[in-house]
Amino acid sequence: MTTGSADPVEAVGVAPAADPGFLQRYGATIEYILIPGAALVGALATFGLFVALFGKNPLDLYFYMYQGAFGTWFSWQNTLTRAAPLILTALCTALPAQLGMVIIGGEGALLIGALSATSVALAMPWASPLVVQTAMVCAGVIGGGLWITLAGALRQYRGVNETISSLLLVYIGLAVLNHLVEGAMRDPASLNKPSTREIGAANMIGSIPGTDVHWGLAFGLVAAFASYILIYHTVFGFSARVAGGNIRAAKIVGLGINKLILIICFLAGGAAGIAGMVEVAAVQGRTNANLAAGYGFTGILVAFLARHNPLAIIPVAILLGGISASGGLLQRRLGLPDASVLVLQGIIFVFVLASDALYGRIGFLKGKS
């Protein structure tokens, strides 16, 4: 629960009052870019070594990773398409982190959001596409939001650890989805892969003009910017950060902690719920077990790598979207298994967390104080 603990130490270590030079002013920012960047480079180097153990050339690896992620317009589009749900699921971890909570149930909220959105779309076949799409967004937000609010409420009212409960809710969510998809909501025509009926081509949200990138990216960007403004430029966000920094101080000044936690959890789950809605309305067209593609788990990594800053989530999500987009090329050209993306993600995660120890310890950033 001490995810944000680096900040106060930072203030002491990096910005002494005297001599307001460049390093004093921007030292913390440089550190926030430099340390995760170094961790990323270290992780890539380690992964290169790992691949070299299997007789592959690491330079080929980096080349194909770049090619598959950002090398061509095609791969850029693939990367951005994958980044969209990652931005949204990362918010599911990053928003509660402002309050010092570690929520890792984005995958569950995504599944429930997708299921709710599909149910609403199937329930109103008469309505015009715009109405259906709006209803789907609302259903996704409410479904995903309530799912994570449950974890938040359990922590606040019953003292249940939110990390464990949110992860358990992922498995429960998947079971609910499978139960409905193979039972009450099953399309009899789907034989091999049990699925719900399709929401209909007219109700799909389609691509951003001129690209193959679906509108989910716009949802992600809007959600990230809105979260940034909410956290850093509103009274609500300020109280959330106060509560996350020092719960006792927040209680003394009379902040309603319960309400804060519930609202933040609802917004967090809502973001992941939109990711589910987008996956249905822009990619799959229906709900089935394909939706459990691990976006929720990669989102946790994105949030930690971005240090839970909603704006930093955007480039980090694009980066990790790129890594997962390059997986196909690595498989075809280098014969690496599809799980290599997972291994790399795991290595990056380990390096980023270990790099937390470096904050405030880099000699030249201490501002000669």
Interface residues with another protein (CB under 8 A) are 1-3, 5-6, 9, 102, 104, 154, 156-161, 163-165, 167-172, 174-176, 178-179, 182-183, 297, 300-301, 304, 337-347, 349-350, 352-354, 356-357, 359
Min. distance of Cβ 263 from another protein in angstroms? Answer: 18
Q: Residue 226 or residue 257: which is nearer to another protein going by CB?
A: 257
Count, residues in the chain = 369
Min. distance of Cβ 93 from another protein in angstroms? Answer: 9
Q: Residue 60 or residue 356: which is nearer to another protein going by CB?
A: 356
Q: Residue 7 or residue 187: which is nearer to another protein going by CB?
A: 7
Min. distance of Cβ 30 from another protein in angstroms? Answer: 19
Q: Residue 2 or residue 192: which is nearer to another protein going by CB?
A: 2
Q: Residue 286 or residue 307: which is nearer to another protein going by CB?
A: 307
Q: Give a three-class secondary structure readout of the chain.
A: CCHHHHHHHHHHHHCCCCCCCHHHHHHHHHHHHHHHHHHHHHHHHHHHHHHHHCCCCHHHHHHHHHHHHHHCHHHHHHHHHHHHHHHHHHHHHHHHHCCCCCCCCHHHHHHHHHHHHHHHHHHCCCCCHHHHHHHHHHHHHHHHHHHHHHHHHHHHHHCCCHHHHHHHHHHHHHHHHHHHHHCCCECCCCCCCCEECCCCHHHCCCECCCCCCECHHHHHHHHHHHHHHHHHHCHHHHHHHHHHHCHHHHHHCCCCHHHHHHHHHHHHHHHHHHHHHHHHHHHHCCCEHHHCCCHHHHHHHHHHHCCCCHHHHHHHHHHHHHHHHCHHHHHHHHCCCCCHHHHHHHHHHHHHHHHHHHCCCCHHHHCCC
Min. distance of Cβ 281 from another protein in angstroms? Answer: 24
> Which candidate, 145, 117, 115, 144, places its Cα nearest to that of 132?
117
Q: Residue 137 or residue 301: which is nearer to another protein going by CB?
A: 301
Find where tokens 């090619």 sit.
67
Min. distance of Cβ 248 from another protein in angstroms? Answer: 14
> Which candidate, 158, 25, 54, 154, places its Cα nearest to that of 96?
154
Q: Residue 163 or residue 207: which is nearer to another protein going by CB?
A: 163
C-beta of residue 280 within 8 angstroms of C-beta of residue 90: no
Min. distance of Cβ 351 from another protein in angstroms? Answer: 9
Min. distance of Cβ 36 from another protein in angstroms? Answer: 14
Min. distance of Cβ 2 from another protein in angstroms? Answer: 6
Hey, CA dihedral for 108, 120, 95, 84, is it positive or negative? positive
Min. distance of Cβ 153 from another protein in angstroms? Answer: 10
Q: Residue 20 or residue 256: which is nearer to another protein going by CB?
A: 256
Q: Residue 8 or residue 37: which is nearer to another protein going by CB?
A: 8
